[in-house]
Every structure is written in structure tokens, then in C-alpha cells.
Amino acid sequence: MNKSYAFVAGLVLLFSGLTAHAEAGFITDANRYDIAYDTVRQVLFISGGTTVRRYDMVAKKFLTPITLGGQTAGMDISADGKLLAVANLSRGAKQNFIDVINLRTLAVKRVGFDLSFGEGGTFTVAFDELSNILVSSNYEGSGWVPLRKINYFTKAVSELGSVRQNSMLAASADRHTIAVAESNISNGAWGVYKAGDEQYQSNNATNWFNFEIGISYTGSQIAVPTYGGTFILDSKQVFPAVGEYAGVTPIGAAYAPVGNKVYFPMANSDYISVYNSETMTEVAQIKVPGNFDWNGNFAFGEGRVKVASDNSFLFSTLDSGVYFAPLRTPAQ
């Protein structure tokens, strides 16, 4: 049964410039997979199972879910806030697909495309600033799949290149850059797509198994969590990895849409670590009602973290639901 409750958030302040909001909360949802927040209607979407659940962040209650069938997976909302794209781990006999939901009417359009060899369902999605949708896929076994770009308006589908199964996608807040972390390969391949690109190849490596990736609002900094720590890739300076090998280490990363904060849910702990992205030093810890367990190099478990596009809320998955914490004020 889905439900929610509120509690006083435990925010440990490490410098006086941060102010804490007293009320945070937890939304119980045992099937939670991914999360996406509609800032216009103030509704949190939660995927997993055959439906996408809708949670009203003002009324603090669930609304009527959207039934899509299959196994709903990674999600993203377009830059204009009008569309929600939803990947699906299920597939058809000859085609793969994603669903695109009109957030005003909740009408659903399914976009299908021919399966590649060995390809399973779709894994996750990300919108660029031109309203193209990048789509990564699963592989039934272990292998490579196409990284696709879908033009939602023309329904044209193109293949940008090959990536490993279950590659994670993360768009910068300005939507000009999408970071790609290839999964299930020991060299830890990763790279970036720029809006308008017609080809993609991962040109970087962590030399660890990747499973998640975060990107700053202009795309100038990227965080790649691994078992050996989170690698920070910055266009201006070199930072040491964040976290400890096999210890307290990030299992997710989400940058604020403005300012200089990045949020790391820490494995083997009960908190989200807040870092200053310019100095890569910890400035706060946000306590959560549970523990983040190590995810075994798999995404969409505990510690899937996102910041609302207007900077109003921080969201993170836990074992049986979604934690949320109000941030300062929208766009501050």
C-alpha cells in the first residue's frame, strides 16, 4: 500500500550559510524504481511495475496512477515541463518502445522502434534542449545496444552509436549536455552527448564498473559513482575521488539546477552528503529515515537521487519508498 508521512528532517549543518527546512517526508512505495518531479503541477511521478504513480506534493496524497503495462523504468521530463518520457523494461516481439505522457492531459503516446540483436526493453531516457529524447536499452544477456535519439514531434528514430546495456543517462539543467555512463563493463566507459549531435562514442573511462552518473547544470562537471569512489570530472580543475573504497561512498549524484551544490547518497550510511561543487568539500549531511545499502553496481536501487528543476525539493529512493526534503526556495 502506498502512503506518506512527514517528520522532522535531521540536517547536520557544517557551515552557517545553509539553512534547514524543518519538514521533510517519506512516501511509501515498495515498487519504486525511478522518480521525476513536475514543478508546474507539483506532482512527483514514481515508476516501477505496470504503472506510473502520481503523488501530489501539496496535498500530500496519491492521485490516480497512469497504467502503461510492462515494467516502467527510467523517466525524464522535458525542458518545457510539458512531457514525461518513460522507459519500459518489457518489449514487444519485434519492437522496443518508450511511452511519452502529456503532463497537462495525461494522454499517452507510445513510440516504438525495431529491436536490435539481443536487445531487451528500454532502460532510461533523457531530454535534450531540442526536445529530442535519448534512450538506452537492456540486453538479454551481456552486450551492446544502440543509443537512440527520438524526435518526439516527427517520431524519427536514429541510432547514435553502440553502448553497453543499461547505460545511465543524466541531462544537465540547461539540457545542452547529456552524460552517459556505460554499465556492465570493467573499463567504466562514459562520455557526453551535446544537443544536436548525430553520433555518440564514450571517450572516457573510470576503469571501474559504472552504474550512475550526475552532471552539473551547465555540463562543466560530471560525477561518476563507482565501488572505488566517485570520480569528479571537471573542465577547470582536478579533484580527488569522493568516498571510500568499499566503504562510505556515493551511490548516486545529483547537482542543483543553480548554485554550487551536489548531493551524494552515501552507501553504508543514513545520510545524503551535500558537497560544494567548486571546492568538492562536504558542507552538510541530510539524515534520511533508513540506510543506503551498497547496490552491487546496479542503478535504480536505493540512492537514486534527483533535485527538482526549480530547486524546490530533493528526492531520493530508499528501500521501500521515496524520501523528500524541501530545499531553500525555488530557483534560489
Closest CA to 158 of 147, 166, 167, 149: 149
- 3-326 folds as Methylamine Dehydrogenase; Chain H (2.130.10)
Q: What are phi and psi of 253, to 5 degrees?
A: -155, 130
Q: Where are the domains of the chain?
A: 3-326
Cβ atoms 179, 222 nearer than 8 A: yes
| Residue the block writes with cell 555512463 | 181
pTM (2 d.p.): 0.93
Cβ atoms 187, 273 nearer than 8 A: no
- DSSP for 138-200 reads EESSS-EEEEEEEETTT--EEEEEEEETT-EEEE-TTSSEEEEE-BS-TT-EEEEEETT-S--
Cβ atoms 147, 190 nearer than 8 A: no
Cα distance between the two ends of the chain: 35
Q: What is the pLDDT tens value at each position of the chain, 332 positions in all?
A: 465 544 444 444 443 333 334 499 999 999 999 999 999 999 999 999 999 999 999 999 999 999 999 999 999 999 999 999 999 999 999 999 999 999 999 999 999 999 999 999 999 999 999 999 999 999 999 999 999 999 988 989 999 999 999 999 999 999 999 999 999 999 999 999 999 999 999 999 999 999 999 999 999 999 999 999 999 999 888 999 999 999 999 999 999 999 999 999 999 999 999 999 999 999 999 999 999 999 999 999 999 999 999 999 999 999 999 999 999 754 44
Compute the CA torsion angle 239, 192, 249, 26 (nearest 10 deg). Answer: 130
Q: Which residues contact 311 (CB under 8 A, 6 or more apart)?
A: 256, 257, 258, 259, 327, 328, 329, 330, 331, 332
Closest CA to 103 of 125, 124, 79, 87: 79
